[in-house]
Amino acid sequence: MDAFYVTLHITLVFQFISFGSSTCLFGCSCTDDILGRSLLCMETSMGEIPVDIPHDFIKIRIEKSHLTELPRGSFSKVPALEFLWLNFNEIALMNMKSLEGLANLTELRLQGNKLTSVSWTAFQDTPNLKILDLKHNLLDVLPEHALRYLPALTYLDLSFNQLSVIAKEVFMNWPLSQIAEKAWAKEGMVSNVVLGLHDNPWLCDCRLKGFVEFTRAVSPPIILMNSYLMCSGPALKAHKFFHEIQLKSCMRPVTSAPETNITLPLGANATLTCLVKGRPEPTIQWMYSLKIIRGFVASQTNIDEETFSSQLLIPSLHLADRGLYTCTANNFIGNSSVNITVNIASSDSSLPLLPPVPMLSSEENAYIEIHIAKQTVYGITLEWHAATENPAETWFTIHFGKYDSPKKEMIYIGPGINSYSVSNLLPVTKYEVCVTLKNLPPREGQCIVFVTGSDIREMEQKERLIHIIVIVCAMVLAVPVGMYACTTEARFSCVDRFVDLWRMHRMHDENLQEGARQGTFDSLQATSDEALCKSSVEKPTKRRRSEDKCKRGSAAYLY
């Protein structure tokens, strides 16, 4: 009898242990085969990686289960895992430690997800990975050292993504590529490596030159899954195969102008032409002193693959249009610019000519176009553009602080940067921000003075923006919606009028019932230009004239 109970006890314990090891997740199925235990979860609603996955699985397949990310240590409790399939989910984020603890992983499939980038350093934890399937994602960048931690790969599929430019160094720096070249001569030393790179929107300009040459020279053990790679752009090379094109090395832009000194009569139409040669296609901009007030139309045409023409049309020349016009071209290698001087010949010798707009021949009188590009709950983003003789060597100084503060904070900005964000602004406070070349002091036309709104807590709850009232700006500021501006020539009676107007409307709005507009800057009622700067009839003429220069940015407001 005792022997019977002992045998029964052992049997129950064995069954309990077996039951525990065969635990499966709800909504999934588990199987055992020659490779080991497998977990299969298809079309479930789990939404995230389960934390209670049993530790003895060799293969895990979770597909169409609405996964959105791979957090740190997603499968670290399954150290024996060799095969991981997470296809057709909605994974958009991959933590750099998402593969932690998976030293035995040999196959990772992430097909049909929403990855725009991959944490390539995550593969430090998977030294034995042989198969990596990333097709049908949204990858648009492949860093130069992306494959550094994948020395054992035999299959890499990057097809059907959004890759447009890849440097050949991506594959030259791949440890497997370096080993394969040396060992391929010795039969059996290395396996074939299959690469899938097709069906990407390849931009076949100079930046792709090295990669195109790499694909042409590919030979065993590296094999392209589809060797007919096709260009998507630029237009002259679209729909052509890599083996049909010849690409040149990249070069910084070189600008020139058929005429650099133009003289025309008043009222004539002027067309300024700028010729640019560069690879890849550069971005061309025109800079001139009255750009904020008179936005002239610029058109661009392609003469050939590397030569471009930009034309600036100035309709009906005014006296104020005289001055220096700068055509600037930029690409990732560098920039170049050419100056064109516009003069006006007066047909009436008795007509006095106004002083010309300051020329940009020196840094001290260089014109800087400055504006507030973005407003957030706690700050602003400032943008500026300056036409200088050497843009690649020009740095700026930002002077920022409260308007009445004699000492402003100074921030130094290096070449090539034309924006800066200011945060932690106080409500109902007047600030001044100036942008100058190098360490020169601010001068007229290089500053913006603005007043912040109030009711920050209420705006945070509604996820609205601070509304900035710009009261002094560079010439006539092209202010965003919901702002007000005065010219730098306006007297501060106009500024006072702005503040008084806001206070009056705020007091009025605070008396409204719930459901009416809130007492913030976004609820300020639309008012005509005359009403904003309107003076009493009894006040002196000089003050009225200065206040008439006040301009309203818009009658609409941001929400």
Pick from 221, 241, 261: which residue ends a domain? 241
Residue 57 has pLDDT above 80, yes or no: yes
Q: Are residues 88 and 197 in the same domain?
A: yes
Regarding whether 178 and 31 lie in a shared domain, the answer is yes
The alpha helices in 422-463, defined as continuous H runs, are 456-462
In a domain, 466, yes or no: no
Is 208 in the same domain as 257? no
Please tell me whether residues 187 and 262 are part of one structural domain: no
Place of tokens 């399954």: 78
DSSP string, 256-285: E-S-SEEEEETT--EEEEEEEEEESPPEEE
Res 421: pLDDT:
84
Mean pLDDT value across residues 112-120: 94
> Is the same domain home to 58 and 99?
yes
pLDDT at position 374 over 90: no
103 and 208: one domain? yes
Query: 319: closest CA among 353, 361, 287, 350?
Result: 353
Whether residue 500 lies inside any domain: the answer is no
Question: Position of tokens 């977990």?
Answer: 39
In this structure, are 205 and 161 located in the same domain? yes
Q: What is the pLDDT of residue 523?
A: 32
Looking at per-residue confidence, does 241 or 10 come out higher?
A: 241
Task: Please tell me the predicted confidence (pLDDT) of residue 15.
Answer: 40
Rounded mean pLDDT, 316-331: 89
The yes-or-no verdict on residue 366 having pLDDT over 50 is yes
Average pLDDT over residues 14-18: 38
The whole-number average pLDDT for the span 371-380 is: 76
Confidence of residue 327 (pLDDT cuts 50, 70, 90): very high
- pLDDT for 227 beyond 70: yes
Share of the chain above pLDDT 70, in %: 68
E strand segments, 288-429: 297-302, 307-314, 323-330, 335-345, 368-375, 380-386, 396-402, 409-413, 419-422
| Mean pLDDT over each residue of the chain, to the nearest integer | 76
Q: Are the CB atoms for 363 and 395 separated by under 8 Å?
A: no
Q: What is the pairing mode between strands 155-157 and 131-133? A: parallel
Please name the residue that has the structure tokens 């740095």.
Answer: 395
For 31-41, the pLDDT digits (tens) are: 998 888 999 99
Q: Are residues 196 and 265 in the same domain?
A: no
The CATH number for 93's domain is 3.80.10.10
Task: For residues 54 and 119, state if they share a domain.
Answer: yes
Distance (Å, whole) CA 434 – CA 436: 7
Q: Mind listing the pLDDT tens digit for each residue in 500-522?
A: 554 554 554 555 444 433 333 33
Question: Which one has a higher pLDDT value, 293 or 272?
Answer: 272
Q: What is the mean pLDDT of residues 22-37?
A: 86
Query: Does 224 have pLDDT greater than 70?
Result: yes
For residue range 417-470, what is the model confidence (pLDDT) as tens digits? 888 888 778 877 888 888 888 777 887 767 888 887 664 444 443 333 344 445
Q: Are 326 and 414 part of one and the same domain? A: no
For residue 333, is pLDDT > 50?
yes
**201 and 61 in a common domain:** yes
The reply to whether 118 and 201 lie within a common domain is: yes
Predicted pLDDT at 360 = 41
**Mean pLDDT lowest for which of 314-328, 391-405, 445-459?**
445-459
User: What would the mean pLDDT of 365-388 be, rounded to a whole number?
Assistant: 75
Q: Is the dihedral of CA 44, 47, 48, 50 positive or negative?
A: negative
As a whole number of angstroms, the distance between CA 29 and CA 323 comes to 77
Number of domains in the chain: 3
Residues 6+ apart with CB under 8 A from 200: 158, 159, 160, 161, 162, 163, 164, 229, 232
Q: Range of 58's domain?
A: 24-241
Residue 188, domain member (yes or no): yes
Are β-strands 430-437 and 447-451 bridged in parallel, bridged antiparallel, or unpaired?
antiparallel
Quote the distance between the C-alpha of residue 289 and its chain's center. Answer: 28
